[in-house]
A and B are shown apart, each in its own frame.
Chain A
Amino acid sequence: MKVPVSITVNGKQYDKMVEPRMLLVYFIREELALTGTHIGCDTSSCGSCTIHLDGKALKSCTMLAVQANGKSVTTIEGMANGEELHPLQEGFHMEHGLQCGFCTPGMIMCAADILKNNPTPTEEEIRHGLEGNFCRCTGYHNIVKSIQYAAKKMA
């Protein structure tokens, strides 16, 4: 039995019928074909599916699509302003903060939340803020630098 949901994603409202058990991440990936939000685990541990829900970072595998009914979601696809990259996207590029790119959208969404709450974080605060997101490629070294780059640019 499918149920109706109305969710605004990257500024556009989507009205869909979904199974009540459908996780928000599957709604984003499969119903909307926004595949920048990734699934890396089944225990809400990796952070690859991090999005913003009403402006706060959230692992979209921890929530059902029906729970997001009436709410506003931002995914990685909604971060750039047209051709103009978000400072975090630019930072990850400039500081080589990504290799395979799989964790990157989740990292950027998480980092945006870190900087929103603390625009001038120390290295330690950045590392602490990222502890819900796994990266297996970079050793986090350049991810930290990427976020520092963005913090400086956004200041």
Chain B
Amino acid sequence: MTYIGSSVKRVEDKRFITGQGRYTDDIVLPQMTYACMVRSPHAHAEIVSVDISHAEQMDGVVKIFTGKDTDAAGIGGVPCGWQVDFKNGDTMKEPPHPLLVSDKARHAGDAIAMVIAETYAQAKDAAEMVIVEYNVLPAVTNSKAARADGAPQVHADVPNNLAFDWELGNPREEVDAAIAGAHHVTTLEFINQRVICNAIEPRSAIGHFDTAYDKYTLYTSTQNPHLIRLLLCAFVLGLPEHKVRVVGPDVGGGFGSKIFHYTEEALVIWGSNQIKRPIKWTAERSESFVTDAAGRDHITTAKMAFDKDGNVLALSADTFANMGAYLSTFAPAVPTYLHGTLLQGLYTTPLINVSVDAVFTNTTAVDAYRGAGRPEATYLLERLMDTAALEMGRDPAELRLQNFIEPFDGVEQEGYVTQVALQYDSGNYAPVLKRGLEMVGYEQFRADQKAAEGTGKLLGIGFSTYIEACGIAPSAVVGALGARAGLFESAQVQVHPTGKVSVYSGSHSHGQGHETSFAQVVADKMGIPMEDVEIIHGDSDAVAFGMGTYGSRSLAVGGSAIVKSIEKVLEKGAKIAAHLLEASVEDLDYAEGKWTVRGTDKSVAFGDVSLTAYVPHNYPEGLEPGLDFSSFYDPANFTYPFGCHICIVEIDKESGVVKVKRFIAVDDVGNVINPMIVDGQIHGGLAQGIGQAFCEGAIYDESGQLVNGTYMDYVMPRADDLPSFEIDRTVTPCPHNPLGVKGAGEAGCIGATPAVVNAVMDALKGYGIHDVEMPVTSQKVWNIIHGS
């Protein structure tokens, strides 16, 4: 049986295609009430008064809580899970993020009151009747502007809105000196705009305090139930952890936005004990836009220096990273340890320095969005690379090939030590680019491009060769970098007496297909049919512990934990088998679901061993009954997937319309368990990466309003905006985890964005422009072509 490496159809599909998926908003509990939040319409405003007296009289209202109630209960707010200190060693500024604000609203959407009623319609009606008097203050939404003297202060005790500043790499003077003396320097000043994650399932949470057992249950659309429980219990509400169950049932996409611990989760849990009834809150889409943590939002100046032969000599990058109004759970790590550390890219750049100002503004919090920091790093490097090629009259593919790090497998050859604190695990970079060039038909494309000159169309090609750090993460390493959590994973493999297997994983699937790919691993490693394996995840009462799913970590870390438990099961199973076979363990082989005495036809099946483990009548002396093991796996290093993305665009000169004609992606994600699922992950990532390049982007007006905060106004790729993707892969196994896997969830989104913009720039190279701001809309392109 070889399930690993084959495109097994997903076992979880049936419930979704028949309408039986169970998402949080689908759950109805007896006596359940419904919450609607009263949110500030102003980005920055003192709260003068909150009058709930009219609202309380409305039909169906059960209870209304305001910031005074949460203040009186001594609830401090939701915490930040990652500490990055100032360059001078001072602790980062970490102002509280209250569940309900009582003094000041710091972004449009800040919650002021929670109205609870018998129905959602009644709660919404009553919320309209809560009268809040505001003293509106000037707002600031741009991170660079927020740093200026005299800018509005988001938090009174955070001067110049600086949460922290941070630096990494070689001494800045050395880098600057190398740049000053270089043959050629390419400089880009650009905005990596804010994008909204927009999982199609809006966030939802149900809090239930069960008075019979004094136990809380939180159903929530989360990517990591156990971390939410830990934060809720240890930091927000001070609840006993063993009296809190957190369930992340079916979750309709996450992309990062459902990693974090949100105020509403704590509110419904706390409120359910106050009113002794369950409370459901589900975001409306417009509410998601102003409360889900957003992604990207960097303002960057970057320089890449070359010698006369085109070798990269040095790189410097200075970034203003918008944190929003509060520090979200992992926010400080995103522009620092997930961004600055990736600026080596695939290149041998000997000198690198990166500096970041993390800035508070009157906007919704920014945190990890698919790729988290690594797309920003890739955009920075790959825009520089294509721009440099254009400026120096070099071919962009050749310039990359010339500067690639030489191959290393991490076994015979050491991992590559970067200038920015990482050691790559294994890599072989030229083949992905060469394969991409072959797939795109590079020479033919250049001929077609030339042939199109003088017609109404412009053709362009853009490259992006990226690396990412995934399989997050070695606990001791991230702990030293400020993480306030370990980033291991746990798994329990429970063999039932009949030989069927339940696997409890701390990873959380919200579209990734773990119920299939994890079962493939288990079935193969144990030599049993996949049908005999069930993967259970997402419920803290079922799964002992977990750190959830993000950072392309599930298979590399969660899968490795499963493999460890399987090894323990088979080790104990061998002892039982040896006893039954009256042989010694050393003389047994395990394959195809049975232990065989080497060189004989004597064997015992897995199911007989499992039954013996639970009916231990004829049993090895001193061995415990049962066949059930848990493991924790803490990775030795990050994993480092890489790849090459190539985009071809066609621009209609008359209208400025940019069409992505072809998109080629050659990714190396290490070993692959289920190619169909990996391809699907790449497809989805590409769509999001391409979306940022040509249509997505949050737009704030001067008063701090998100003016495109609905699906009517925020443009996301639809089916007819995208081509079918052309994808392939190379395989460079990860040398440090048992499956040799690297992770595939974020790759598409990390590599794609600069490929699209580079393609547009290639198409427009005759128009004397140096850069174009994302999203590259038809209007911007039309203005360039028509010179206005």
Enumerate chain A interface residues (CB-CB to B < 8 A): 19, 21-22, 29, 33-43, 45-46, 48, 75-77, 79-80, 85, 89, 92-94, 96, 98-105, 108, 123-124, 126-128, 130-131, 133-144
Contacts of A137 in B (CB 8 A): 200, 253, 511, 680, 684
Question: Do the beta carbons of B724 and A123 come within 8 Å of each other?
Answer: yes
Given A41-B285, A124-B720, A139-B725: A93 and B200 interface contact (C-beta under 8 Å): no
Contacts of A43 in B (CB 8 A): 285-286, 710-712
B23 contacts the other chain (Cβ, under 8 Å)? Answer: yes
Question: Do the beta carbons of A42 and B710 come within 8 Å of each other?
Answer: yes
- Interface digits, B3-16 against A, CB 8 Å rule (1 contact, 0 not)? 00000011011111
Given A103-B200, A123-B724: A76 and B19 interface contact (C-beta under 8 Å): yes
Question: Do the beta carbons of A46 and B683 come within 8 Å of each other?
Answer: no
Contacts of A35 in B (CB 8 A): 19, 22-23, 25-26
B512 contacts the other chain (Cβ, under 8 Å)? Answer: yes
Question: Do the beta carbons of B683 and A136 come within 8 Å of each other?
Answer: no
Give the complex CA separation of A112 and B255 in angstroms.
29
Question: Do the beta carbons of A40 and B26 come within 8 Å of each other?
Answer: no
Contacts of A101 in B (CB 8 A): 12-13, 15-17, 21, 250, 252, 511
Contacts of A21 in B (CB 8 A): 121
Given A45-B710, A103-B200, A141-B724: A39 and B25 interface contact (C-beta under 8 Å): yes
Question: Do the beta carbons of B200 and A139 come within 8 Å of each other?
Answer: no
Other 6 A-B pairs with CB < 8 A, given A29-B26, A144-B724: A41-B710, A75-B19, A99-B680, A100-B251, A127-B722, A140-B718
B769 contacts the other chain (Cβ, under 8 Å)? Answer: no
Can you pick out 9 interface pairs between chain A and chain B where the beta carbons lie within 8 Å of each other? A29-B26, A35-B22, A39-B202, A42-B284, A93-B14, A101-B21, A102-B200, A130-B720, A142-B680
Question: Do the beta carbons of A139 and B684 come within 8 Å of each other?
Answer: yes
Contacts of B25 in A (CB 8 A): 35, 39
Contacts of A75 in B (CB 8 A): 19
B687 contacts the other chain (Cβ, under 8 Å)? Answer: yes
> Which parts of B691-740 form the interface with A (CB within 8 Å)?
710-712, 716-720, 722, 724-725
Contacts of B31 in A (CB 8 A): none
Give the complex CA separation of A130 and B712 in angstroms.
16
Q: Which of B10, B23, B199, B685 contacts A96 (CB 8 A)?
A: B10
Question: Do the beta carbons of A139 and B686 come within 8 Å of each other?
Answer: yes
- Taking CB as reference atom, which chain B residue is nearest A75? B19
Give the complex CA separation of A102 and B19 in angstroms.
9
Q: Shortest CB–CB separation between residue A151 and chain B, in angstroms? A: 15
B353 contacts the other chain (Cβ, under 8 Å)? Answer: no
Given A39-B25, A126-B719, A144-B724: A96 and B676 interface contact (C-beta under 8 Å): yes
Question: Do the beta carbons of B253 and A85 come within 8 Å of each other?
Answer: no
Give the complex CA separation of A45 and B718 in angstroms.
11
Question: Do the beta carbons of B253 and A89 come within 8 Å of each other?
Answer: no
Q: Which of B20, B26, B198, B724 contacts A136 (CB 8 A)?
A: B198
Question: Do the beta carbons of B202 and A40 come within 8 Å of each other?
Answer: yes
- Taking CB as reference atom, which chain A residue is nearest B689? A139
B106 contacts the other chain (Cβ, under 8 Å)? Answer: no
Give the complex CA separation of A92 and B680 in angstroms.
12
Contacts of A29 in B (CB 8 A): 26
Give the complex CA separation of A138 and B512 in angstroms.
11
Question: Do the beta carbons of A141 and B725 come within 8 Å of each other?
Answer: yes
Question: Do the beta carbons of B17 and A92 come within 8 Å of each other?
Answer: yes
Given A19-B121, A134-B718, A138-B683: A102 and B18 interface contact (C-beta under 8 Å): no
Give the complex CA separation of A135 and B255 in angstroms.
13
Q: Shortest CB–CB separation between residue B210 and chain A, in angstroms? A: 22
Given A45-B712, A130-B718, A134-B716: A93 and B285 interface contact (C-beta under 8 Å): no
Contacts of B14 in A (CB 8 A): 93
Chain B residues touching A, range? 35 or more
Question: Do the beta carbons of A138 and B684 come within 8 Å of each other?
Answer: yes
- Taking CB as reference atom, which chain A residue is nearest B22? A35
Contacts of B23 in A (CB 8 A): 35, 38, 102
Q: Shortest CB–CB separation between residue B117 and chain A, in angstroms? A: 14
Question: Do the beta carbons of A138 and B680 come within 8 Å of each other?
Answer: yes
Q: Shortest CB–CB separation between residue A42 and chain B, in angstroms? A: 5
Query: Which of B14, B19, B286 counts the most A-chain CB atoms under 10 A from its CB?
Result: B19
Enumerate chain B interface residues (CB-CB to A < 8 A): 9-10, 12-23, 25-26, 28, 121, 198-202, 250-253, 255, 284-286, 510-513, 676-677, 679-681, 683-688, 710-712, 716-720, 722, 724-725, 748
Q: Shortest CB–CB separation between residue B105 and chain A, in angstroms? A: 22
Question: Do the beta carbons of A93 and B10 come within 8 Å of each other?
Answer: yes
Question: Do the beta carbons of A130 and B719 come within 8 Å of each other?
Answer: yes
Q: Which of A19, A22, A85 contacts B17 (CB 8 A)?
A: A85
Contacts of B286 in A (CB 8 A): 42-43
Q: Shortest CB–CB separation between residue A46 and chain B, in angstroms? A: 6
Question: Do the beta carbons of B252 and A142 come within 8 Å of each other?
Answer: no
Question: Do the beta carbons of A136 and B253 come within 8 Å of each other?
Answer: yes
Q: Shortest CB–CB separation between residue A136 and chain B, in angstroms? A: 5
Q: Which of B17, B202, B725 contacts A98 (CB 8 A)?
A: B17
Given A134-B716, A137-B511: A142 and B21 interface contact (C-beta under 8 Å): no
Q: Shortest CB–CB separation between residue A84 and chain B, in angstroms? A: 11
Q: Which of B511, B681, B688, B711 contacts A41 (CB 8 A)?
A: B711
- Taking CB as reference atom, which chain B residue is nearest A41? B285
Q: Shortest CB–CB separation between residue B250 and chain A, in angstroms? A: 7
Q: Which of A77, A92, A134, A141 contacts B13 (CB 8 A)?
A: A92
Contacts of A143 in B (CB 8 A): 719
Give the complex CA separation of A140 and B663 in angstroms.
14
Q: Which of B19, B284, B688, B718 contacts A36 (CB 8 A)?
A: B19
Closest 9 CB pairs of A and B: A36-B19, A101-B16, A102-B252, A139-B687, A100-B511, A45-B711, A99-B511, A76-B19, A35-B26
Question: Do the beta carbons of B719 and A131 come within 8 Å of each other?
Answer: yes
Give the complex CA separation of A29 and B28 in angstroms.
11
Contacts of B512 in A (CB 8 A): 99
Question: Do the beta carbons of A36 and B21 come within 8 Å of each other?
Answer: yes
Question: Do the beta carbons of B711 and A77 come within 8 Å of each other?
Answer: no
Q: Shortest CB–CB separation between residue A129 and chain B, in angstroms? A: 8
Give the complex CA separation of A79 and B511 in angstroms.
22
Q: Shortest CB–CB separation between residue A47 and chain B, in angstroms? A: 9
Contacts of B285 in A (CB 8 A): 40-43, 46
Contacts of B718 in A (CB 8 A): 130-131, 133-134, 140
Give the complex CA separation of A146 and B421 in angstroms.
44
Contacts of B679 in A (CB 8 A): 96
Question: Do the beta carbons of A141 and B683 come within 8 Å of each other?
Answer: yes
Give the complex CA separation of A40 and B203 in angstroms.
10
Given A99-B511, A136-B255, A138-B684: A108 and B17 interface contact (C-beta under 8 Å): yes
- Taking CB as reference atom, which chain A residue is nearest B197? A136
Question: Do the beta carbons of B719 and A133 come within 8 Å of each other?
Answer: yes
Question: Do the beta carbons of A77 and B18 come within 8 Å of each other?
Answer: yes
Contacts of B18 in A (CB 8 A): 36, 76-77, 79-80, 85, 89
Question: Do the beta carbons of A98 and B16 come within 8 Å of each other?
Answer: yes
Q: Shortest CB–CB separation between residue B451 and chain A, in angstroms? A: 24
Q: Which of A45, A131, A134 contacts B720 (CB 8 A)?
A: A131
Question: Do the beta carbons of B28 and A36 come within 8 Å of each other?
Answer: no
Contacts of A144 in B (CB 8 A): 719, 724
Give the complex CA separation of A126 and B722 in angstroms.
12
Question: Do the beta carbons of A136 and B720 come within 8 Å of each other?
Answer: no
